[in-house]
Amino acid sequence: MTTSLTGLLRSALRTLLAPAERPEPARPRFTATPGPGQTAPRPSPGYPGDYPGMPAISYAPRRDAEPDPGEVVWTWVPYEEDHDRGKDRPVLIVGTDDPWLLGLQLTSVDHDRDAAQEARAGRYWVDIGTGDWDNQRRPSEVRVNRVIRVDPDAVRRVSVHLPRDQFERVVVGMRTHLGTRRKA
pLDDT digits (tens, 9 = 90+) for 75-130: 989 999 888 888 899 999 999 999 999 999 999 998 988 889 999 999 999 999 99
Q: Which of 174, 55, 74 is nearest to 131 (CA)?
A: 74
Q: Which of 98, 57, 51, 58 is nearest to 77 (CA)?
A: 51
Global pTM reads 0.75
Separation of alpha carbons 164 and 180, rounded Å: 20
DSSP alpha helix (H) spans, 18-156: 115-120
Percent of the chain residues past pLDDT 70, beyond the cut: 72
Band (pLDDT 50/70/90 cuts) for residue 64 is: confident
Average pLDDT over every residue of 124-137: 93
Phi, psi of 15 (to 5 degrees): -65, -45
